[in-house]
């Protein structure tokens, strides 16, 4: 039996690129079905992460036209990682394997075929890894590379140059559910699951339309989150600085005492004032950093849900479907009615 595949696509304000994404992914899925690589029950799952534009409308309408398209509407914007997770969990219920990919088609969708082949050979997780980053701006490329290096020195095991383009088996996604943390950094967690895994290399393209949803601020927050969710080395680093400066201040103390006994009392002022500032600064950094971790613990202990699903087109009660209708578009009603009478 061919495996049932679901391709999960998180979308946040992606109205510009969605028509292209629908058509390219749908075409790919049909090809895979024809080649008998995946089951005819396979689906594309578009997760609307609380978009403010027409993203959900478009997903819903496309779902009425095309039975392979399923839509999941989150109750509000929860960020890429959580949206992806919502999609993975919803998808695993009806699939044998799940592929996650960004809506902007920067990742080469043809690689999904290789993912499936590796899955059929027994891999539970297949990572898509970028060969080159020519299409990224110099800035994005260097910050991203710096990030991977930093994570590595802090002892976090990441797959180099792998973003969230990967295949996971149903079993792997089930295990992922066991990671209860609220501060979610998927790229760090997935390798922790283990199982047989493999890598497929591809060239990353430019965004097909629309603009990045990861501006610098979000990117920095993402990197910082990744580090503090996986490593305590920043705290340890502060501790070491504290110890080193304590050691030096002891040395200086001896030195200043010596000076005092030798009668050069005024010379101490500069070093005194500098060290007050230095130590004060270090203490503030240390407290701030510890605060970050305490904040994380605070969030974890609350166990808040990571996402809330508003609508899943797969199990939407028919009685509620009228809520989704867009009064402006008559054609849309007609498709909806036709579909309703078919399903009833």
Task: Give burial (CB, 10 Å; 0-12/13-18/19+) of 199.
Answer: middle
Please tell me whether residue 228 binds Mg ion under the rule CB under 5 A: no
Name the residue nearer to Mg ion (CB basis): 17 or 167. 17
CB of 212 to Mg ion, least distance (A): 6
**x/- site string to ligand UDP, residues 42 to 81, per CB under 6 A?**
-------x---------------------------x-xx-
Name the residue nearer to Mg ion (CB basis): 18 or 311. 18
Please, how many CA atoms are within 13 Å of residue 177, restricted to the half-sphere of its CB?
A: 13
Ordered alpha helix ranges (H), the chain: 18-34, 55-65, 80-92, 111-120, 138-153, 170-176, 186-193, 216-230, 233-262, 268-302, 330-343
Spatial CB neighbours of 152, under 8 Å, sequence gap ≥ 6? 158
Please tell me whether residue 102 binds ligand UDP under the rule CB under 6 A: yes
Please tell me whether residue 107 binds Mg ion under the rule CB under 5 A: no
Residue span binding ligand UDP (CB under 6 A) among the ranges 86-94, 100-108, 241-249, 301-309: 100-108
For residue 12, the partner it binds in Mg ion, ligand UDP, none, with Cβ less than 5 to 8 A by kind, is ligand UDP
Tell me the C-alpha distance between 88 and 100, whole Å.
8
Please tell me whether residue 212 binds ligand UDP under the rule CB under 6 A: yes
Distances from the Cα of 6 to the Cα of 3, 16, 82, 88, angstroms: 10, 23, 17, 9
Task: Give burial (CB, 10 Å; 0-12/13-18/19+) of 113.
Answer: middle
Please tell me whether residue 104 binds Mg ion under the rule CB under 5 A: yes
Tell me the C-alpha distance between 312 and 324, whole Å.
12
Q: How many residues does the chain have?
A: 344
**x/- site string to ligand UDP, residues 264 to 303, per CB under 6 A?**
----------------------------------------
CB of 304 to Mg ion, least distance (A): 27
For residue 68, the partner it binds in Mg ion, ligand UDP, none, with Cβ less than 5 to 8 A by kind, is none
Please tell me whether residue 214 binds ligand UDP under the rule CB under 6 A: yes
Q: Which residues bind ligand UDP (CB under 6 A)?
A: 10-12, 14, 49, 77, 79-80, 83, 102-104, 106, 212-214
């Amino acid at each position: 039996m061919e495996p049932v595949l679901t391709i999960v696509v998180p979308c946040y304000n992606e109205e510009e690129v969605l028509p292209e994404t629908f058509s390219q992914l749908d075409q790919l899925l049909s090809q895979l079905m024809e080649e008998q690589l995946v089951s005819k029950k396979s689906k594309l799952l578009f997760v609307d992460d609380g978009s403010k534009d027409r993203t959900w409308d478009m997903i819903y309408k496309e779902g009425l036209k095309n039975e392979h398209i399923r839509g999941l509407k989150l109750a509000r914007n929860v960020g890429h990682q959580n949206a992806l997770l919502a999609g993975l969990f919803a998808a695993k219920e009806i699939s044998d394997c799940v592929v996650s990919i960004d809506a902007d088609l920067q990742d080469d969708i043809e690689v999904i075929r290789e993912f499936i082949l590796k899955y059929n050979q027994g891999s539970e997780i297949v990572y898509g890894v970028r060969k080159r980053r020519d299409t990224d701006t110099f800035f994005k490329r260097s910050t991203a590379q710096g990030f991977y290096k930093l994570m590595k020195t802090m002892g976090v095991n990441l797959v180099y140059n792998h973003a969230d383009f990967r295949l996971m088996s149903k079993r792997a996604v089930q295990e992922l559910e066991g990671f209860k943390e609220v501060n979610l950094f998927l790229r760090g967690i997935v390798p922790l699951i283990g199982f047989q895994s493999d890598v497929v290399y591809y060239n990353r393209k430019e965004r097909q339309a629309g603009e990045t949803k990861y501006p610098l601020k979000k990117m920095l927050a993402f990197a910082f989150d990744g580090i503090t969710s996986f490593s305590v080395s920043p705290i340890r680093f502060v501790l070491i600085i504290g110890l080193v400066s304590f050691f030096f201040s002891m040395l200086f103390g001896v030195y200043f005492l010596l000076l005092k006994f030798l009668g050069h009392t005024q010379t101490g002022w500069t070093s005194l004032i500098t060290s007050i500032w230095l130590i004060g600064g270090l203490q503030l950094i240390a407290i701030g950093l510890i605060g970050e971790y305490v904040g994380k613990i605070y969030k974890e202990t609350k166990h808040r849900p990571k996402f809330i699903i508003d609508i899943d087109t797969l199990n939407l009660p028919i009685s509620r479907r009228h809520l989704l209708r867009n009064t402006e578009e008559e054609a849309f009603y007609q498709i909806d009615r036709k579909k309703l009478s078919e399903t009833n």
